[in-house]
Amino acid sequence: MKLSTSVLLSLLAVSPLAQAMLPIHVKQFRFIKPSSADNDASSNEVFYVKGIDYQPGGSSGYDPDGDSDVLSDAEKCARDAYVFQQLGINTVRIYSLNPDLNHDKCMTILNNAGIYVILDVNSGNYGENLDRSNPWGTYNSQYIGRVFRFIDAFKNYPNVLGFFSGNEVINDQKDYANIDPPYIRAVQRDMKQYIAKHSNRTIPVGYSAANTVDLRLATYRYLQCNSLDGTTTNKALDESRSDFFGLNTYEWCSGTSDWESSGYDVLNSTFSDTVIPLIFSEYGCNKNLPRTFDEVTDGLYPSSGLGNLFSGGLVYEYAEEANNYGLVDMDDSDGSITYKDDFDNFKSAISKLKDSVVYESDLGDSSLYRCNSSAITSAYKDFGVSNFTIPDQPDDIATMIKYGVNGTNVGKILTNYTAPTTFDYTIKDSDNNTVDATITYDSSNLLNALKVSSTSESSATATSSSSSSSSQTSSASSSKSSSKSKGDAAHIAGPFTQSGIFAVLLSVLL
């Protein structure tokens, strides 16, 4: 019996593929990974971030005028993708990238290896971030234009889990907690409007907060709120809120901390009212070395700990720098990698995790959170609530949102590229033995597109032609059509290879 190609693609689309690299979306306080191209809420599962922070060379390794960054060298990306697989992680965070370089090969390697990415849209260089000491002077078209080019460069990769609008911009130095918060919201508003107008899917926009106990609570309450009265959504606040929230926290130190002494019990109570996903955007105290990462098994992930509230986290960091947080040593002279004891211990901790299966349909629908100035200032009295007003959007930024930035570097997953399974770098284990390193690519990782009905395509087209002033409606419409992606004339866009379930279906076809 032979099946038509359309029937074959339909079978692939509805088959539950646990490893398929389909775009992550947000439902209430959870990340959701579609179980198949049908994007059916009854089978879609909550996604837990199990990852590391990844910036080999540190901030000094990024050169905005250079011809490379950490995702521009396919050979190095293949090397590190192998290490990620050995760790058992599913996500990496990257702090600094050049939006004008091509990242297709590296992003394809990571996608095919089963790795999602969370990307900071900023860097530490002048004109590439919001200066916390002068937010009104640096919130301008030069900076936001670069952010938009960054979005263009990465929006088409299905393994982009989300963007960070800022990292520790709001802190307890000087008057920064007072002057910066409204500008973070302005940046998030602009990013979300641009994504709604120029991307074919909604990409979550989040914020990574500083490790200051009182200030992080105030920041969280401020950035997730979207209602002035607690009953109705305010459009301006909803489109400028964070879609997810990251905490940089180093309070649990291996071997000496526990649930109470680490303050995890306080996190569990003070963040219990969240309506957006929470993650640790950095963690891994290095007071006691080697780190044993008992916070992974005893604190962050288990349902008896923060697992019912938080959605995982990212250990700081991949490569060893002067601050002694690395999981691996990287030889700058030859690019070789040697695992540290921290690598073995983190790998062991991750391997012991057993996620509770929670389906998207099990979650509630409410994402309303009241903007309560007294609740925010009671946590940090000098926090700049500013009556929840947000800086006006300059005309030149509104124009860029309406027409785009005409970026010439728009990335995509490569379908005609054979991702490398080996590389010319040596990998050694923590006993200094050379590892026979070969990357494996699960064929289901090549399923990257959700099913789209003709109705939702028409709606999306109509929505994307609207002005930026109606971008919140556009975002809501896009989200709705994504979660109800069934109907006539449905199609699948994406590459397929002949192995596993694909081989079975192809054998029927042939």
pLDDT tens column, 11-22: 444 444 456 899
| Distance between CA atoms of residues 203 and 360, nearest Å | 18
Residue 190's closest CA among 227, 148, 157, 162?
148
Contact 349, 87 (CB under 8 A): no
Q: How far apart are CA 126 and CA 316, in angstroms?
A: 25
Comparison of pLDDT for 476 and 284, the residue scoring more: 284
Strands (E), 159-257: 160-167, 205-209, 244-248
Angle between helices 74-87 and 341-351 (to 10 degrees): 60
Residue 380, pLDDT > 60, answer yes
- pLDDT attached to residue 19: 66
Q: Does 490 have pLDDT greater than 90?
A: no
Superfamily of domain 25-446: Glycosidases (3.20.20.80)
| Catalytically annotated residues | 168, 282
Using the predicted structure, report yes or no on whether residue 389 has a pLDDT greater than 80: yes
**Residue 141: what are its φ and ψ, rounded to 5°?**
-70, -30
User: In sequence order, what are the beta bridge partners of 312?
Assistant: 49
C-alpha 8, offset from chain centre: 32
Under a CB-based contact definition with an 8 Å cutoff, are residues 377 and 218 in contact?
yes
Of residues 101 and 498, the one with the higher pLDDT is 101
Q: Is the pLDDT of residue 53 over 90?
A: yes
Cα torsion 459, 464, 467, 471: sign: positive
Instruction: Give the span between the Cα atoms of 259 and 412, in whole angstroms.
Output: 43
Q: In what order do the strands lie in the sheet with 427-428?
A: 328-330, 337-339, 427-428
Least confident range from 10-24, 117-131, 281-295: namely 10-24
Bridge partners for 209 per DSSP: 247
> Please, is 173 exposed, middle or buried when counting C-beta atoms within 10 Å of its C-beta (0-12, 13-18, 19+)?
exposed
Q: pLDDT exceeding 90 applies to what percent of the chain?
A: 81
For residue 186, pLDDT beyond 90: yes
Domain ranges of the chain: 25-446
Residues 206-237 pLDDT 10s? 999 998 888 999 999 999 999 999 999 999 99
pLDDT tops 60 at residue 265: yes
